[in-house]
């Protein structure tokens, strides 16, 4: 038995206009969601959110049982998403939540971490 093709209900075109959405917003939000979609990165962000002071990479390696290169990889993703800042002190790198997070980003993090 042959499959019958259904007639197209509407021709391709503009029957309704999509609401305006900025491409930059979609790209930025996508990067944020990608950064948050990993359990290790989410754990690291939650730790930074709750910390009173910057956290040394050595504390992440010990606390999460991961190697320094793995922690650095995850932190690089969080930095690229604009979520964390780092500062080198001697041989160690200390991380903190970025002070100037967008209000919407801060709200999302607050809801996720509380």
Tell me the pLDDT tens digit for each residue of 28-71. 888 889 999 999 999 999 999 999 999 999 999 999 999 999 99
Spatial CB neighbours of 113, under 8 Å, sequence gap ≥ 6? 45, 46, 49, 50
Task: Say what the pTM is.
Answer: 0.77
**Average model confidence (pLDDT) for the chain?**
89
Tell me the pLDDT tens digit for each residue of 17-39. 888 889 988 888 888 899 999 99
Please tell me what DSSP assigns to residue 88: E
- The domains of the chain, with CATH numbers, are 32-113 (1.10.10.10)
Residue 79 Cα to chain centre, angstroms: 9
The predicted pLDDT at position 17 comes to 85
> Residue 52 has which token pair?
């009173």
């Amino acid at each position: 038995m042959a499959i019958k093709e259904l007639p197209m209900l509407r021709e391709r075109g503009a029957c309704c206009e999509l609401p305006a959405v900025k491409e930059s917003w979609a790209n930025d939000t996508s990067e944020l969601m990608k950064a948050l979609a990993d359990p290790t990165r989410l754990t690291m962000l939650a730790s930074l959110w709750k910390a009173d002071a910057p956290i040394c990479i050595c504390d992440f390696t010990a606390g999460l049982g991961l190697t320094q290169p793995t922690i650095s990889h995850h932190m690089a993703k969080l930095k690229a998403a604009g979520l964390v800042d780092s500062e080198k002190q001697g041989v160690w790198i200390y991380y903190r939540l970025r002070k100037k997070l967008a209000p919407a980003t801060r709200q999302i993090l607050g809801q996720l971490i509380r």
